[in-house]
Amino acid sequence: MSSLSISTELPLKKETTEQVNKTVVYDTKNLNLWYGNNHALKNINLPMYKNEVTAIIGPSGCGKSTYIKTLNRMVELVQNVRISGEILYREKNIFDKEFRVEELRTRVGMVFQKPNPFPKTIFDNIAYGPRIHGIKDKKILKEIVEKSLRGAAIWEEVKDRLHENAYGLSGGQQQRLCIARCLAVEPDVILMDEPTSALDPKSTLKVEELIQELKENYSIIIVTHNMQQAARISDKTAFFLNGEVIEYDDTDIIFSTPSDKRTEDYITGRFG
Amino acid sequence: MGKTVSVKDLIRNKDKKNKLMLKAERTIPFILFALASISILTTVGIVSTLLYETFLFFREVSIIEFFTNTNMKPLSRVEPSFSILPLLTGTILISLVAMLVAIPIGLTTAIYLSEYASESVRKAVKPIIEVLAGIPTIVYGFFAFTFVTPILREFIPALQSTNALSPGIVMGIMIIPLVASLSEDAMNSVPKAMREGALALGATKLEVTLRVVIPAAISGIIASFVLGISRAIGETMIVTIASGSSKNFTFDITQSMQTMTAYIVEVTSGDAGAGTTAYYSLYAVAFALFIFTLLMNMFAGHISRKYREAY
Amino acid sequence: MKEFALKSEEKFHSHYLNIEKVNKRMTTRLFINNFVKYLFLASTMFGLIVLAFLIYTILRDGLGWINMDFLTNRLSTLPERAGIAGAVVGTLWLMFVVGPVTMVLGIGTAIYLEEYAKRGRFHSFIQTNITNLAGVPSIVFGLLGLTIFVRMFGFGPSIIAGGLTMSLLVLPIVVVASQEAIRSVPQFLREASYGMGATKWQTIRNIVLPASMAGILTGVILALSRAIGETAPLVAIGIPALIIPIPSSITDNFTVLPMQIYYWTIDSVLVDEYASMAAATIIVLLIVLFLMNSVAIIIRNKFKKRY
Ligand SMILES: Nc1ncnc2c1ncn2[C@@H]1O[C@H](COP(=O)(O)OP(=O)(O)OP(=O)(O)O)[C@@H](O)[C@H]1O
Ligand SMILES: [Mg+2]
């Protein structure tokens, strides 16, 4: 009896201490999503914690992008999407009729797979968000732009060319610019969908370092195809397969002692 | 025996055929080239006739007077006088009215269809709007003259039965599809990723449209406006029917006015015989018309090509 | 709509954006967005409503005049005896000239540009020229026709003069449509033909043209429907308003439906019935155009399924 209780208590204890310290930012409950008849997300249950990096891994087509786009309701731009279940952001269901998408998206930033700066100057790219929220004061805008660019570790590279078109930047710089653009609205959470897959190794490293810094202030959810990347930068990892969460745990555990055979097969490169 | 003969024949026949084929193969490019040259000949024909007869016209009428005098009395027997200014103001004012209708409605239609409407609404509405572009201009002329003018006169008693306002409005309606579909094309060519980038920052659709999509598509949109203006300047039947033939130099759009195109119609269908000054004036006016529209079309082509290179 | 999600107690690291202010502003922003959406919808509907109105007034005015007599009678100054037989026959004659002429010129030009001409200065010169011709006002083509075909060649305001003028006007439509059709023939079909030892012209004639015929025909039909609706060039070449015999040869004088509409419309100040007769003629013209466009759409849809 006692030996049994000890063996179950150890991991449980660990969980509870964590939960005391950490605020749940996002909590997904019984989420299902269909594209027409394609059941793309099946009964997803996932918590996500403040000031952590949560990585989502899984083979192509398993629903990673779909899931992360559901978190800020960008997925609803696709026609014929049907969703059931709930996603609680700061304890409020984002699908609630009275929840305004624009508000959600102001609090939850997103970085896309391919850098997508606006065809404007670097300054205007960053100032876009603050401007739509009503900040007109040039001085404040300048401060925000500098702070955001510093936050995205790109200030030094662009400070002398703020009024040049953003398309003059390299791919890696563009991606950090997009991160800066996202920081300028002072989000709570940042969603990243394979942010480094279009970048060269050097730029990838820079973005990875940046993510490590950002988690001090933000909660980050990142989709990645790169197992090493997930292992390097994330605190928690969720493994998706065919629209289901197969396993979710601390990154260390997922990459050392996964409890599901399919997770092990995937991370050891046996498929996907 | 029969067999060997037939094989020989076959080979001979084939040789003959080959020779014929080779000949055809060599001559066909020249025939096709000749056909392709017709389009160039057309341009040469247009430019040379216009230039030549315009030249003859300016031997009789001072070019300075033609552009500065405001008195247009081409068919007066006593004292004929030639001036392009009344025609120019007529053309510009009517085109202005047309663009005041076509630009706001065309552009907002484009925005609605490309940014707000669902795919099914867009698929249903677009072809119907394009029907407006397929209706012959003579039908619009009829509509302006027998329907729009009488209605407008209810509200504006001072409106003459032929005037600049009514054909201007109807011409604007005719140009809506052109502005709408070209602007929509320009907006559609803005990558979806850019819209998503803005939406993900919490922007509303309107903010995405005004601050991302339109700035990115601006050259294509402006090109559509310029093409619209060029269409308005070159449009003939609506104005011939509904704006009358008064050559008074005026800016009052409730009055009858003549455009350059309507002047050409009046003189050609009237009895100004070949060789008279009035006949030559036709070409001078047509030349001005040709140059204006050509410059605008080339400008529109130039800027829209520029935006295509942007991404 | 009330603010729901976030309260200011939830302090993040916001220094510049005051959440309460942002939320309040958002209410306004969303309202404007919604309002403008309906405004744009209304603007989109405007075109549709005008179209409906236009069709309604024309049907209202003209439908009563359409009967067998109107379609088969010749022109007359007496409204009750007047018909559009001459204009219908004239329109058919016009198509009879414009169709073959634009087809030969248009396809020839397109094949030359797509299959023979080397890409370079000359190619882009012809291409630019065609683009620019497409934008020349139709009345200018009328003057060209007047100067060259009517006066210089001495054709007078005949079917051949009108037909050739119209052909030049609509030629760019056929050329561009044919070019697109030819370009959309997959390269592997050409390669297969060359691989079997066929020559260039054999390949074009036996492979490329048949495969692109639907697209070309669509272009020709669209060009024809443009041609039979155009009025200005014909006015310029001096098509008479007189009552003329029904044309029976290509050198005869003629009139067409739009010309009939034109004269009846401007004379409607003199005789009231003329307005209705113009409307009735418009109905006939629109029906013809509708049928031609339907055929074009059917051909195009068939063509789409091919590859
Ligand atoms: N816009 C869409 N419309 C319809 N089906 C879609 C759409 N986007 C994705 N799907 C389907 O949903 C499923 C999940 O796709 P998703 O893009 O989320 O996969 P993913 O895990 O991000 O893959 P990848 O690693 O290739 O990015 C797939 O079966 C896909 O075909
Ligand atoms: Mg993906």
Distance, CA of A245 to CA of A67 (rounded, Å): 11
Distance, CA of C235 to CA of B85 (rounded, Å): 24
Give percent of chain B with pLDDT exceeding 70: 94
What is the average pLDDT score of chain B? 89
DSSP-derived pairing of the beta strands A53-57 and A38-49: unpaired
pLDDT in the model for residue B311: 53
Average pLDDT on C143-149 reads 93
pLDDT in the model for residue A21: 65
Domain limit, last residue, from C65, C92, C119: C65
Q: Which helix (H) or strand (E) holds B204?
A: none
How do residues B198-245 score in pLDDT, each as one tens digit? 999 999 999 999 999 999 999 999 999 999 999 999 999 999 999 988
How many other C-beta atoms are found inside a 10 Å radius of the C-beta of residue B131? 18
pLDDT in the model for residue B244: 86
pLDDT in the model for residue B284: 93
pLDDT in the model for residue A221: 95
Distance, CA of B219 to CA of B302 (rounded, Å): 9
Domain boundaries, chain A: 17-267
Q: Are residues C33 and C138 in the same domain?
A: no
Distance, CA of A201 to CA of C257 (rounded, Å): 70
- As for how many domains chain C has, the answer is 2
How do residues A54-65 score in pLDDT, each as one tens digit? 999 999 999 999
Q: Are residues C60 and C78 in the same domain?
A: no
For residue A56, how far is its CA from the centre of ligand 2 (angstroms)?
11
Out of A32-36, A83-87, C74-78, C174-178, least confident range: C74-78
The per-type count for chain B, helices as H runs and strands as E runs, is 13, 0
Q: Are residues C133 and C258 in the same domain?
A: yes
The pLDDT of residue B148 is above 60:
yes
Q: Identify the chains in contact with C, defined as 3+ C-beta pairs within 8 A.
A: A, B
A91: left (phi over 0), alpha (psi -120 to 50) or beta: left
A65 ligand 1 Cβ < 6 A: yes
Q: Are residues C93 and C44 in the same domain?
A: no
CA distances from B52 to B21, B55, C40, C277 (A): 45, 5, 49, 41
Q: How close does chain C come to A78, measured CA to CA in Å?
A: 19
The pLDDT of residue B168 is above 80:
yes
A128 ligand 1 Cβ < 6 A: no
Nearest to A104 among C1, C3, C5 (CB): C5
Burial of A185 (0-12, 13-18, 19+ CB in 10 A): buried
pLDDT in the model for residue B18: 76
How do residues A127-156 score in pLDDT, each as one tens digit? 999 999 989 999 999 999 998 998 888 999
The pLDDT of residue C241 is above 80:
no
Q: Are residues C91 and C134 in the same domain?
A: yes
pTM to 2 decimal places: 0.89
Domain boundaries, chain B: 7-59, 85-307
What's the domain range around C267?
73-306
Would you call C5 and A140 a contact, using CB atoms and an 8 Å cutoff? no
The pLDDT of residue B302 is above 70:
yes
CATH (domain of C176): 1.10.3720.10
Burial of C15 (0-12, 13-18, 19+ CB in 10 A): exposed
A40 ligand 1 Cβ < 6 A: yes
C126 vs B25: which has the higher pLDDT: C126
Q: Are residues C99 and C247 in the same domain?
A: yes
CB contacts < 8 Å between A and B, how many? 70
Under 8 Å between Cβ of B139 and C282: yes
Domain limit, last residue, from C47, C65, C83: C65
Q: Which two tokens stand for residue A185?
A: 């609205």
Out of B212-226, C43-57, C66-80, least confident range: C66-80
**Topology, domain A17-267:** Rossmann fold (3.40.50)
The pLDDT of residue C304 is above 70:
no
Q: Which two tokens stand for residue B239?
A: 């104005």
Phi, psi of C57, deg, nearest 5: -65, -35
Average pLDDT on C68-86 reads 80
Q: Are residues C32 and C174 in the same domain?
A: no
User: Mutation test of the interface with chain A: which of B195, B199, B201, choosing the one with the most A Cβ atoms within 10 A?
Assistant: B201
Burial of B29 (0-12, 13-18, 19+ CB in 10 A): middle
Beta bridge partners of A29: A86
A196 ligand 1 Cβ < 6 A: no
Phi, psi of B84, deg, nearest 5: -90, -10
A60 ligand 1 Cβ < 6 A: yes
pLDDT in the model for residue C283: 96
The pLDDT of residue B277 is above 50:
yes
Q: Are residues C281 and C234 in the same domain?
A: yes
One-letter amino acid at C190 equals R
- Which DSSP letter does residue C150 get? I
The correct answer on CATH 3.40.50.720 for the domain covering B85-307 is: no
Q: Which two tokens stand for residue A77?
A: 């731009």
Q: Are residues C249 and C206 in the same domain?
A: yes
Distance, CA of A233 to CA of B188 (rounded, Å): 38
Q: Are residues C153 and C51 in the same domain?
A: no
This model of the complex carries an ipTM of 0.90
Indicate the length of chain B as a whole number. Answer: 311
Would you call C238 and B268 a contact, using CB atoms and an 8 Å cutoff? yes
Phi, psi of A83, deg, nearest 5: -130, 140
The pLDDT of residue A2 is above 50:
no
Name the one residue in this structure whose structure tokens are 């001979």. B12
pLDDT in the model for residue C7: 43
For residue A65, how far is its CA from the centre of ligand 2 (angstroms)?
4
The pLDDT of residue A74 is above 90:
yes
Domain limit, last residue, from C24, C46, C65: C65
Q: Which helix (H) or strand (E) holds A219?
A: strand A219-223
What residue in A sits closest to C7 (Cα-Cα)? A90
Q: Are residues C155 and C35 in the same domain?
A: no
What is the average pLDDT score of chain C? 88
Q: How close does chain B come to A130, measured CA to CA in Å?
A: 9
Under 8 Å between Cβ of C284 and C257: yes
Distance, CA of C162 to CA of C164 (rounded, Å): 6
Q: Are residues C192 and C239 in the same domain?
A: yes
Out of C2-6, C23-27, C180-184, C189-193, least confident range: C2-6
